[in-house]
Amino acid sequence: MRGKTILITGGSKGIGLACAHAFAAEGAKIAICSRTQAHIDEALKTLPGAIGFAADLSSATEAADMLAAVEQALGPIDVLVSSAGAARRSPPDELTPEFYQAAMDAKFFSTINVTDPLVKRMAARGTGVIINIIGAGGKVASPTHLAGGAANAALMLVTAGLGNAYAGQGVRVVGINPGLTETGRVAEGILSDARLAGITPEEARARAIARIPMGRMASPEDIANAAVFLASDKARYMTGITITMDGATTPVIV
């Protein structure tokens, strides 16, 4: 990774920030993106030499402007890690068509608005890796994560399709489906689960961990380590796939 330009969307917190640290440790040039400048400023305090840009990636225009700014500052992007966006969770009785639309904007289009223009630039150069941090909710339906899970499932299909479409042009597209991970987003999801079940958040958290055979949630660093591997030449024959990292919670053939 030394000297390569890595763009990490959603890079100011959680898995995205862990990815930024992991790639920086490999000698990469780091750019992060987040909707909130204050969050970027806080993250950059721990990432010497990195740069950050604030953008709402659900807007195709803001996403395009952000890509242009990154490449002007650091040169062509070698690796994109898409970790931006997360749909809010909700009990099913509170879902509305507008809620589903918001979920697609928050997760699906926040990824696609960056991936679509960048995969074409990478193909024109004949090289590049795109890693989509998606979510296990796209494979296994959860009553409190139907809207977000639908967006995740769509991203899994796009990951497979783009991996196939651009394999001959030197671009790899892969996905990671984290299960429960120690992030603020998951903590918010546990609050929704607690409301639906009529229990305390502490009880909901304990129940969630009890369903994980490995006995703990993933750390953001666990996911980041996988992202660095997938971006490296050691994974050069891997494309069009999404790897589930859920501590064996869902033992299915993929």
Chain centre distance of CA 105: 14
Determine contact, residues 108/154, Cβ cutoff 8 Å: yes
Q: What is the pLDDT of residues 136-167, one digit of tens each?
A: 887 888 777 788 889 999 999 999 999 999 99
Whole-model pTM: value is 0.91
List, in sequence order, every residue forming a beta bridge with 176; answer none if it has no partner.
Answer: 133, 243
Q: What are the chain's domains? A: 5-244 (3.40.50.720)
Q: What is the pLDDT of residues 93-152, one digit of tens each?
A: 888 888 888 889 989 999 999 999 999 999 999 999 999 999 888 788 877 778 888 999
Q: For the beta carbon of residue 238, count every other beta carbon within 10 angstroms.
A: 14
Q: Where are the alpha helices (DSSP H) in the chain?
A: 14-25, 37-44, 60-74, 97-103, 110-125, 146-166, 184-197, 201-210, 220-231
Is pLDDT at 192 greater than 80 in this prediction?
Answer: no
Among all chains, which residue has been given the structure tokens 């993929």? 254
The CA–CA distances, whole Å, from 194 to 166, 185, 189, 210, 243 equal: 43, 14, 9, 15, 28
Q: How confident is the model at residue 186 (pLDDT cuts 50, 70, 90)?
A: confident
List, in sequence order, every residue forming a beta bridge with 243; answer none if it has no partner.
Answer: 176
